[in-house]
Amino acid sequence: MNSDQRINANKRGLSSKVYKTFRFHPRNSLLLIFILCFLTACPAQKFAVRDVAIERDGQTVAVVRAEIARTDGERSKGLMYRKNLPDGEGMLFIYGKDEMLSFWMKNTFIPLSIAFIAYDGRIVDIKDMYPHDQTSVTSSRSVRYALEVPQGWFSRAGVRLGDVLKTGEQ
């Protein structure tokens, strides 16, 4: 550390030892970039995943690979901070009893569609949601489940109101 650096470090309240520890080095910056990319690309919380069939008249209409959000913590985080969600994937929110459900899109970067699903697996509502919109999207009646997928996926997959989600929970 030269004398000018030492003076500037002292002005900022840094000792020369601290300054040397945190000085710029290309290797350190690459490591920092790698860590930041890893943390933002990977969800901090791992969810259980399972394939969930959607049926009509006993025939499978579509299958979605769903992350399962069962606890309050899992449900409150949901798909926040995700940058993408491929077609055919989503998140299934499971509640212990029927209730009016409300969702919003705070800290959610991708447009989603949500299906509100009754205790018997019947889809009673399908609604679209938009990134960062903090307006509540509410079920029209008490339901037990909600399934979020990329916006428009239900339509593209041929899923409609009255179809039955086979959650394995019914």
| Residue span of the structural domain in which 98 resides | 48-166
Cα separation, 69 vs 103, in Å, equals 13
Give pLDDT, residue 26. 59
Strand order in the sheet with 89-99: 123-129, 112-117, 143-150, 89-99, 59-69, 48-56, 164-166
Residue 141 has pLDDT above 60, yes or no: yes
- Residues 77 and 141 reside in one and the same domain: yes
Say if residue 13 is in the same domain as residue 85: no
Model confidence at 133: pLDDT above 90: yes
> Are residues 159 and 98 both part of a single domain?
yes
Q: CA 123 to CA 163: how far, in whole Å?
A: 6
Position 167 scores a pLDDT of: 75
The CATH code of the domain that includes 64 is 2.60.120.1140
Look at the pTM and tell me if it is higher than 0.75: no
From 64, 82, 68, select the one nearest 154 (Cα to Cα).
Answer: 64
Query: Do residues 82 and 12 share a domain?
Result: no
**90-108: average pLDDT:** 95
Question: What's the pLDDT at 47?
Answer: 86
Asked if residue 134 and residue 110 are part of one domain, the reply reads yes
In the predicted structure, residue 35 carries a pLDDT above the cut 80: no
What's the structural domain count of the chain?
2
128 with 90, same domain: the answer is yes
The pLDDT > 90 percentage for the chain reads 63
Say yes or no: 18 and 72 in one domain: no
Chain segment 1-11, per-residue pLDDT in tens: 555 555 554 55
- Of residues 46 and 35, more confidence is placed in 46
Asked whether residue 116 carries a pLDDT value surpassing 50, the answer given is yes
Same domain, 147 and 93: yes
Claim to verify: residue 59 and residue 21 sit in the same structural domain: no
